[in-house]
Structure 1
Amino acid sequence: MKPYLLVVPFSALITGLFNAGKVVPWPPAILIGAAWALLMGLIAHWLRRNPRRGRWSEDVLIGVATTALAFAACGGLMAILLLNGAMRSTSLSGEALEQMFLPSIPYYIIVNSLLEMLIIPLVLYVSWRPGRRRILILAAAALYFGMRVWTYVAFAPARLDWADSAHSTQVLTPADRTQAAGDLMLDDPRWALLMVMFVLFLIAAFLRPAHRQAQQGITDRDERTIGATIS
């Protein structure tokens, strides 16, 4: 299996249909997403043409992905804790809850845009080598793809609709709190999924790729042979 078979559908759906599709009709939007995936593939091919550059870019991209997923997971958990804590306040108003929620929108737009448009596609392309590292990255990427589809279909519309609604300075009634908790999906489990992805990438970051292990084995054997010859 080639990485294009995974990255192109991912990008066509996420970058194309769900993002570009907001400003252009869906057929060209899907083509835009697919073209973006091919562009990422060309960049990855250029990176891998030089072996040293390929190894360096693979390690760096895995490190960047690990860091970005940590930000996404911890940010999601913190937002859930803050919003759930606010819900227990007896003086909470709709306006106050809205102002607490709004800063999370640009935060997640930035983090997820980097992940879904640049980091995940490039990591899949650059790290496409046999071995346990690729298996871990594939598992994390599959989880991320499923989570992003889930987000665009269910989570994002409900939360953005709530943010776009008018909210008063009146204290929320129990019914209002229940409605707000449902609209904001305060039982959101995505932070836990992101934490799983973070752990998978973290393990991958500390794994030496199979081709490097083979090269190291050849080097060690040559050094032993030379040492035996000299002695």
Structure 2
Amino acid sequence: MKFYKAFFTITFSLLLFSCLGFSKKDAKTNENNKITKNYTPSKETKVAYFASGCFWCVEAIFESVRGVEEAVSGYAGGQTKNPTYQSIGTGRTGHAETVAVYYNPDVVSFETLVSVFFGSHNPTTKDGQHPDYGTQYRSIAFYSTDEEKQIIEAKIDELNKSTYNNQIVTEVTKHTKFYEAEEYHQDFEKRNPNQGYVKAVSVPRLNKFKKKFPELLKKESH
């Protein structure tokens, strides 16, 4: 009996403080029960795609970076068409929680965004970022051009030598298709500051990033 009680207590705690344990009813939405970004990129805007754990955390981190116009949570890297939050949670779609980063290349470079990516998560953890584990939380740096691929691979080589002793497991994957996540996931951390996972995981991860890269932050993000 004690074993089962401990098991269910641990399981409940993991769900409470995990991205997967979220229920739509916990999200703050507008009057139509939807969250819309109302963002239109300019002609100069470029897009980069990164996956490094729960997209609530990743989106908030990139949105704090100067030169990033918008970050959108979604799914990429898999083979299933039209994935949903529920379907990728099974780990069978091949997709990972991914963030599309819309940025002004005159203000912030793709190379800097790659540094933000590697500097804001543990790239040596296979299939997850604590406390979220599963293929949907794996580390992926997507590229759209050969130049972007070279930048990512050069950064991995540098970090493997200087910091991680050849233990980086980040996938370097050509971007093909990005599926925008359900609207209630967008700007989740900003709209749900008192949600358990946000307080316990997202905000501390964002603050850790801000402390590490103060020179990259937008003024309002300091």
**Structure-2-length-normalised TM-score:** 0.25
Q: Whose radius of gyration is greater, 1 or 2?
A: 1
